[in-house]
Amino acid sequence: MAKPVLVIGGGIAGIQASLDLADQGVKVYLVEKLPSIGGKMARLDKTFPTLDCASCILTPKMVSVARHPNIELLTYSEVVEVKGSAGDFHVKVLKKPRYVDEDKCIGCGECIAKCPSKVPDEFNMGMSQRKAIYFLFPQAVPLKATIDKEHCLYFTKNICRVCERICPTKAVNFEQKPETLELNVASIIIATGYELMDPHLAATYGYGKYSNVYLSLEFERLVSSTGPTGGEIVRRSDNKHPKSIAFIQCVCSRDVKINPNCSAFCCMASVKHAILAKEHLPEVDCTIFYMDLRAFGKGYQEFYNRAMKEFDIKFIRAKPAKIEEDPETKDLIITYDDTLTSIKRTMRVDMVVLAVGVKPVYPEVLPLKIGEDGYVCLKDPIMESIASTIDGIYVVGVAAGAKDIPDSVVQAGSAAAKASILAGV
């Protein structure tokens, strides 16, 4: 009988690792700190280079995870203690209380409709609002409501409790307590993904100061039909369609003073954004300001060529130094040195999208050795690029180094194979 394996992180890498292990007969505990699995991929509209709908290829896997008899899905949970060694880890997992009984909740959403407390929606990068009781997104797995204690009027002011009254199955339970589970696993796979770097570190671009400067993930939500504007690309300042959009690469990446690493996928992500912008608004002028356009994967160069030829997207080799705002129109003026013609210019655009760099996220409780580049140290960067320095603990996905979705999926499978050996399959 194989021992179970712990997968930390419910993004595409964690999902794939869980499925690959479970299909071999290994029991998997999939721990995810958010109320739903899906990770960053769930926020994407389309994936490059094929422009596949991200949800369409992700959600079937999410559902498989939910239904798989070998996977125990522990969402809204965090790992709080790890002891032991390869083959015999003792892990404590804290299940945070949703204040909703998961067995009773049917995901009807009545509670959400009636909740009076509004909160900026983190899933939509703060560009829309959710309620204090919420689904992370409409296709959440598990589709169980979660109460955000910090914004719930009952917890903060001892009033309301409308959700409790409205719920048809009486699933709301304000008395729910956190639960600690003790698990004994053979191996741990870390797939905790990334966060965006703080764009305020690149202060000259004016993110936060100028309303029409967006982050890459914000633009992704803007373009998504499930996003805050239903897929309409409109400016924050005046709700109008932009006539010109500039994409700036290498923001908080490849800069020794901020973050020397290259974040790998943002060049392709911006090309994708520019193409999607053209698909939504055929008249828009898209310009991508790049230093090196990194088209490192299969089909990426063709994707880039397609952007230039078919979609007439302009590429300017320059790192813009600063962005200024026209206070009346809220248009943005970008100052750059066009390095291929050696002419310094300014460009006026309606909207700017910053391709912000990424930094990995790791569970604090694990004594992982972090290298100088901020990523976990690997056993051997060439031949064992998913093995951490601790035996039995594997790191996959962006947590092991910035990469795209195909590579994350492949690494997940590789870690599953290695973990299954320890599990005793």
Q: How far is the CB of 201 from another protein (least distance, A)?
A: 12
Nearer to another protein, 187 or 259 (CB): 259
**Residue among 24, 280, 337, 377 that touches another protein (CB under 8 A):** 337
Residue of 116, 339, 369, 371 that binds another protein (CB under 8 A): 339
Angle between helices 266-280 and 216-223 (to 10 degrees): 30
- Does the footprint of another protein cover residue 336 (CB under 8 A)? yes
How many residues make contact with another protein (CB under 8 A)? 24
Residues forming beta bridges with residue 52, ordered by sequence position: 47
DSSP 3-state assignment of 190? Answer: strand
Residue 100's DSSP bridge partners are 172
Nearer to another protein, 58 or 352 (CB): 352
Interface map 359-398 toward another protein (x if CB under 8 A): ----------------------------------------
Q: Contact region for another protein (CB under 8 A) — 19-27, 247-255, 394-402, 404-412?
A: 247-255
Spatial contact of 397 and 411, defined as CB atoms under 8 Å apart: yes
Q: Which stretch binds another protein (CB under 8 A): 103-111, 187-195, 330-338, 375-383?
A: 330-338
Q: What is the dihedral of CA 184, 185, 188, 191, to 10 degrees?
A: -80
**Amino acid in the structure at residue 62:** M
How buried is 66 (Cβ within 10 angstroms: 0-12 exposed, 13-18 middle, 19+ buried)?
A: middle
Stretch that binds another protein, among 7-15, 207-215, 254-262, 386-394 (CB under 8 A): 254-262
Q: Are strands 146-147 and 332-338 parallel, antiparallel or unpaired?
A: unpaired
- Could you say which residues in the range 297-326 bind another protein, by CB under 8 A? 317-322
Closer residue to another protein in complex, CB, 89/205: 205
Helices (H), 69-189: 110-114, 153-157, 162-166
Please say whether the beta carbons of 185 and 419 come within 8 A.
no
String of contacts with another protein for each residue 195-234, x by CB under 8 A: ---------x------------------------------
Query: For the chain, how big is the Rg over CA atoms in Å?
Result: 23
254, 272, 294, 403: which one contacts another protein (CB under 8 A)? 254
- Alpha-carbon separation of residue 242 from 45, 102, 184, 208 (angstroms): 19, 44, 54, 19
Chain residues in the site for another protein (CB under 8 A): 204, 250, 254-258, 291-292, 317-322, 335-339, 342-345
